[in-house]
Amino acid sequence: MEILWAPWRMEYVAVSNEKGECIFCPGNDRSRDEERLILYVGDRSIVLMNRYPYISGHLLVAPVRHVSALDALADDEKLDLITMVEKCVGILKGVMNPGGFNVGLNMGRIAGAGVEDHIHFHVVPRWSGDTNYMTVVGEVRVIPEHIRATYKKLLPLFHDL
């Protein structure tokens, strides 16, 4: 069996750990939201862009409260979290017109969570033909739009929430 590595993910986790902050914990300082690619912080949920996306528009949705499992969330937090995932799908549909989505929950190290102590959903827009051999053969991802350009497109729609 051949193993494919994704070492670029460790840089994302290591940078957050060096600063002593969880990427999903918004804190009270909103002045760093653009730097941190945070699109939305509500009472119960946070939405940010994945700094190392699988594809343009790859969003992360997490509870504001730092928890490592679904059963640690109150019912209102669970409802808010899935409602925010739904809103992200709607915003991405309107702005980027994808053909579909992959939505998945990362919970625990074995499940692939780079930040295992804070559950989070990945919301990944998908288009026909958006995967190719470049990642497998060349260890390169082809992201058609700069992450800051995508951020600027999406941010006004999250302000409306």
Q: List the catalytic residues.
A: 120
Phi, psi of 128 (to 5 degrees): -60, 125
Here the tokens at position 76 are 């209102």
Residues 6+ apart with CB under 8 A from 13: 114, 115
122-141 in b/e burial notation, b at 16+ Cβ within 10 A?
A: bbbbeeeebeeeeeeeeeee
